[in-house]
Amino acid sequence: MARGDQVSLAQTAAQGRRGAFVGLLSNAALAVVKLVAGLAGNSYALVADAIESAADVVASLVVLGGLRLAARDADDDYPFGYGRAEPLAAAAVALMLLGAAFGIAWEAAAAIRTPHGAPAAWTLAVLLAVIVIKQALFRRQHAIGQAGGSPAVQADAWHHLSDAVTSGAAFLGIALSVLAGPGWEAADDWAALVAAVVIAINAVGMLRPAVDDLMDRAPEPDVRERILAAAYSVPDVRALEKLKVRRVGTALFVDLHVQADPALSLHDAHIVSGCVKTAIRRAVPVAAGVLIHMEPFEPTSS
């Protein structure tokens, strides 16, 4: 990988770590505020939201740990680097979200069956502030995650959005129970139940790409097309076959068989191999490793 690309990836990783740290501090503060407001304002939806924010704190710690580990250079023990720490962190965050969703749904279902008073109207102001903060955190982390192709940072971003969704559901539930009056107290608990379902759906959506990366699923077709086009741009390349691409964190590792003129010397074939590597890295800057297998070109008879 070119030095400029290494700097770019390093900067993206650093931005992701800073964003996760800001998210961690924000989630810790919001969890305390929402828990106190929920208990004082008699709102289980707000308490459930506080539980989700507490899970966010743990998730941010996991993301930070994954990003720090993924940033380590390759060594003898891990020759392909530590990039797998990113999808592992993303999967852990998704599983924590599923756990939080189940816990919130369980408690909400129990609260629906238990008569209680309506939440305090002032809790709506707390939730409105939470929604604004969470939307801002989501936009920041999502932009960083997309720019660097980081599954852990993107998982952290969607975690912020899921928190904004739960806060929005709690806002609607509390507003309904306060404005509709007696008989609508359970709207607060139904809002918590709806929020749990949304959290679970987001968690499954985050888990799938993380599992894909851990299982070495091939990247998007356009990535393969760019690699093949770059390799064919080298004049001495006659044919290509057996392209294999896998993602390790934010980096890609490419394995490609290149056919060239059988009369080429070993030295010339080595030069062709180097030209193909350079072309691929220019076309796909995140290609951290490119392995080229040179073979003699043997045209097939029609």
Quick count: other Cβ atoms within 10 Å of Cβ 111?
A: 21
> What pLDDT shows up at residue 4?
42
Does CATH place domain 3-214 in 1.20.1510.10? yes
Q: What is the pLDDT of residue 16?
A: 64
221-296 to CATH, choices 2.40.400.10, 3.40.50.720, 3.30.70.1350, 3.40.710.10: 3.30.70.1350
- 235 Cα distance to chain centroid: 39
C-alpha to C-alpha distance for 292 and 231, rounded to whole angstroms:
10
- What angle (nearest 5°) sits at the alpha carbon of residue 292, between those of residues 291 and 296? 160
Q: What confidence score (pLDDT) does residue 166 get?
A: 75
**Which structure tokens are listed for 26?**
């924000």
Query: pLDDT tens for residues 231-288?
Result: 999 988 999 999 998 888 778 899 999 999 998 899 999 999 999 999 999 998 888 8
Residues 210, 154 contacting (CB under 8 angstroms): no
pLDDT digits (tens, 9 = 90+) for 79-109: 877 878 878 888 888 888 888 788 878 877 8
HEC profile of the chain: CCHHHHHHHHHHHHHHHHHHHHHHHHHHHHHHHHHHHHHHCCCHHHHHHHHHHHHHHHHHHHHHHHHHHHCCCCCCCCCCCCCCHHHHHHHHHHHHHHHHHHHHHHHHHHHHCCCCCCCCCCHHHHHHHHHHHHHHHHHHHHHHHHHHCCHHHHHHHHHHHHHHHHHHHHHHHHHHHHHHCCCCCCHHHHHHHHHHHHHHHHHHHHHHHHHHHHCCCCCCHHHHHHHHHHHHCCCCCCEEEEEEEEEECCEEEEEEEEEECCCCCHHHHHHHHHHHHHHHHHHCCCEEEEEEEEEECCCCCC
What average pLDDT values come out for the chain (302 residues) when binned by 10 residues? 45 65 79 86 76 74 76 79 80 83 82 76 86 85 72 72 79 82 77 80 83 82 90 91 85 91 91 93 87 87 43
Q: Taking all residues of the chain, what is their mean pLDDT, rounded to a whole number?
A: 80
User: What is the distance between the alpha carbons of residues 192 and 43, in angstroms, rounded to a whole number?
Assistant: 10
Write down the domain spans for the chain: 3-214, 221-296
